[in-house]
Chain A
Amino acid sequence: MKTYLTKQFYGDYGDRESVKESSGIAADSARDWPLWEVFVRSKMGLDHKHVGSLHAADARMAIENARDVYTRRQEGISIWVVESRHIHASNPDDAASFYDPADDKVYRHPTFYELPDELKAM
Chain B
Amino acid sequence: MEKNGTIQLETIFQDRIDQEIRIEPKDWMPDKYRQTLIRQISQHAHSEIVGMLPEGNWITRAPSLKRKATLIAKVQDEAGHGLYLYSAAETLGISRAEMINQLHSGKAKYSSIFNYPTLTWADIGAIGWLVDGAAIMNQVPLCRTSYGPYARAMVRICKEESFHQRQGFEILLTLSRGTDAQKAMCQDAINRWWWPSVMMFGPSDEASPHTAQSMRWKIKRFTNDELRQKFVDICAEQVKILEMHLPDPDLKWNEKRGHYDFGPINWDEFWQVIGGNGPCNKERLAARIKAHEDGAWVREAASAFAAKQQQKQKAAVA
Q: Are B25 and A10 in contact (CB under 8 A)?
A: yes
With a cutoff of 8 Å between Cβ atoms, the chain B residues found around residue A35 in the complex are 90
Q: Which residues of A contact B34 (CB under 8 A)?
A: 14
**Contacts of A26 on B, CB cut-off 8 Å?**
303
Residue of B nearest to A89 (CB): B26
Interface membership of B278, Cβ < 8 A? no
Asked whether A57 lies within 8 Å of B303 as measured between CB atoms, the reply is yes
State whether A55 and B96 are in contact (beta carbons under 8 Å apart), knowing that A10-B25, A69-B80, A92-B24 are contacts in the complex: yes
Q: Once the chains bind, are B76 and A72 in contact (CB under 8 Å)?
A: yes
Q: What are 17 A-B interface contacts by the 8 Å CB criterion?
A: A11-B25, A12-B90, A16-B93, A17-B93, A25-B303, A25-B306, A25-B310, A27-B300, A27-B303, A29-B97, A52-B87, A53-B87, A58-B310, A61-B302, A69-B83, A69-B84, A72-B77
Q: Contact string, B81-116, partner A, CB cutoff 8 A, digits 1/0?
A: 001100100111101110011000000000000000
Could you tell me the distance between the alpha carbons of A58 and B92 in the complex, rounded to whole angstroms?
24
Partner of B87, one of A54, A57, A68, A72: A54
CB-nearest residue of chain B to A34: B306
Return chain A residues, CB-CB under 8 Å to B24.
Answer: 92
Interface residues of B, count at CB 8 A: 36
Q: Is B250 interfacial (CB 8 A cutoff)?
A: no
Q: Mark B66-84, 1 if CB is under 8 A from A, else 0.
A: 0000000100110010011
Report the separation of the CA atoms of residues A57 and B92 in the bound assembly, to the nearest whole angstrom. 22
> 1/0 per residue A2-46: CB within 8 Å of B?
000000101111111100000001110111110100000000000
B residues in contact (CB < 8 Å) with A: 24-28, 34, 73, 76-77, 80, 83-84, 87, 90-93, 95-97, 100-101, 152-153, 156, 160, 296, 299-300, 302-303, 305-307, 309-310
Q: What separation, in Å, do the CA atoms of A10 and B303 have in the docked complex?
A: 23
How many angstroms from the CA of A72 to the CA of B159 in the assembled complex?
12
CB distance from B56 to the nearest CB of A (A): 17
Are A31 and B97 closer than 8 Å at their CB atoms? yes
- Give the chain B neighbours of A52 by CB distance below 8 A: 84, 87, 152-153, 156
Shortest distance between the CB of B120 and any CB in chain A (Å): 28
Q: Is the CB of A8 within 8 A of B26?
A: yes
A interface, CB within 8 angstroms of B? 8, 10-17, 25-27, 29-33, 35, 52-55, 57-58, 61, 68-69, 72-73, 89, 91-93
Query: Which listed residue, B26, B300, B305, touches A92 by the CB 8 Å rule?
Result: B26
A25 touching B97 by the CB < 8 A rule? Answer: no
Find chain A residues with CB under 8 A from B300 CB: 27
Q: What's the least CB distance linking A79 to chain B, in Å?
A: 15
Q: For the complex, what is the distance from the CA of A69 to the CA of B153, rounded to whole Å?
A: 12
**Would B303 and A54 count as touching, CB distance under 8 A?**
no
Across the A-B interface, the 3 shortest Cβ-Cβ residue pairs: A14-B93, A58-B306, A27-B303
Residue of A nearest to B81 (CB): A69
Chain B min CB distance to A37 (Å):
10
Are B26 and A11 in contact, with the CB atoms below 8 A?
no
Which residue of chain B has its CB nearest to the CB of A13?
A: B93
A residues near B92, Cβ cutoff 8 Å: 14
Question: A57 near B305 (CB under 8 angstroms)?
Answer: yes
Task: Report the nearest A residue to B100, measured CB to CB.
Answer: A29
> Contacts A13-B93, A52-B84 hold; do A92 and B306 have CB atoms under 8 A apart?
no
Q: How far is the CA of A18 from the CA of B95 in the complex (A)?
A: 13
> CA separation between A16 and B26, bound complex, in Å?
8
In the bound complex, CA of A73 to CA of B163 (Å): 12
- Rounded to whole angstroms, the CA-CA distance of A29 and B153 in the bound complex is 25
Query: How far is A29 from B92 in the complex, measured between Cα atoms in Å?
Result: 20
- CB-defined contacts of A12 to chain B, threshold 8 Å: 90-91, 95
Residue of A nearest to B159 (CB): A73
Q: How far is the CA of A17 from the CA of B26 in the complex (A)?
A: 11
In the complex, are the beta carbons of A27 and B302 less than 8 A apart?
yes
A83 to B75, CA, bound (A): 28
With beta carbons under 8 angstroms apart, the residue of B83, B153, B309 that contacts A54 is: B83
B261 to chain A, nearest CB (A): 40
Contact across chains for A11 and B27 when beta carbons are under 8 A apart: no
- Min CB–CB distance B143 → chain A (angstroms): 15
In the bound assembly, the distance between CA atoms of A85 and B73 in angstroms comes to 33
